[in-house]
Amino acid sequence: MPNRLIALLAASTASVMIAAQPAPASSFQQITSASEFEQVVIGHQLSRFGIRLQVTEDGEINGRAFGYSVTGDWQWRDGFFCRIMDWGGTEIPYNCQMVLRSDNSVRFVSDQGTGDSADFRLR
């Protein structure tokens, strides 16, 4: 499973980079409160190439990524979106992420804003 995960994430990243340029960082504004996060994200589908997720107000994450089920739990802690997930039987470790917003997109930046980022469209 880990090799499949690495291959799929690499393919996803390459496809997204070829398909579209990300919005400039300056157009994104940080979400700092649980209420703002919930207002922006709850009730919407988060999507990007091969991935569709929903974050629910009762602390769950559900969806699909590259044909596999995604489940997880989340909470807002000290200004960050903290989550743990399972993707097709592979645990995606606990991580607290900075969340930024721009128009109909959100950006999650791992490791409290110091790591890798992923942009999702809000639908």
Query: Which contiguous run of DSSP H or E holds residue 49?
Result: none
Please give the Cα distance from 88 to 18 (Å, whole number): 26
**Which CATH number goes with the domain that contains 83?**
2.40.128
Secondary structure (3-state) at 68: strand
Statement: residue 69 has pLDDT above 60: yes
- Give the model's pLDDT for residue 24: 52
pLDDT tens digits, one per residue of 16-47? 333 344 445 569 999 999 999 999 999 999 99
80 falls within a domain? yes
Please state, for a pLDDT cut of 90, what percent of the chain lies above it.
Answer: 77
Q: Which domain holds residue 76?
A: 28-122
Count of the separate structural domains present in the chain: 1
22 falls within a domain? no
Q: Are 98 and 37 in contact (CB under 8 A)?
A: no
pLDDT tens digits, one per residue of 89-123? 999 999 999 999 998 999 999 999 999 999 999 99
- Predicted TM-score (pTM) of the model is 0.79
18 falls within a domain? no
